[in-house]
Structure 1
């Protein structure tokens, strides 16, 4: 990476840490690897990291969909307590990438 992209990366990481941008670090790294790949082929280490990021992203998407489906079920059954619990879980998932044990 060049100095300009390093500076932009640092600025973005600071904003993520400050909570200005709500993004998981794995998604930022996925975007970085995409841009590295645009400039040329990935190294073996970058390709491994890409696979890791894709796996984490797939798990994140699956977990979000699972909670959303459960939330719809809670809504249909008028289980407001469960729905609130699921909303809290989804919020934590979006911030941390992991479903909390509530």
Structure 2
């Protein structure tokens, strides 16, 4: 499974490493809070799209599911696998 690493994730990793070696500055703490908020929003959007993809699959709407999976891929996520 291929998962995208977004710049926000790279920055979170950088701040986490810095946090382990020294106390973060006020600016870095604010940056970390911002990164966490953006990450939560990103995860929520992907989860919503995956839920809609499941609904499209359950209702047999292949065109809608294709559109949703394209949006998931655009966000750098991995579309859910389809079972037949």
Q: Structure 2 length normalisation: TM-score?
A: 0.85
Query: 1:54 and 1:94 mapped to 2: Cα distance?
Result: 17
Query: 2:33 and 2:62 mapped to 1: Cα distance?
Result: 38
Which residue number corresponds to residue 24 of structure 2? 42
Alignment map for 1:65-84 (pairs within 5 Å): 65-84=47-66
Offset at residue 94 of structure 1 (A): 1.5
Misfit runs of 4+, over 2 Å: none
RMSD between aligned residues: 1.3
Offset at residue 93 of structure 1 (A): 1.1
Matched, 1:92 2:74: yes
| Number of aligned residues | 75
- Structure 1 segments unaligned to the other structure (5+ residues): 1-20, 96-102
Q: Structure 1 length normalisation: TM-score?
A: 0.71
Higher helix share: 1
Q: After superposition, what is the alpha-carbon deviation per residue over 1:34-63, rounded to whole angstroms, capped at 9, x for unaligned? A: 000000110000000000100000000000
- Structure 2 segments unaligned to the other structure (5+ residues): 78-84
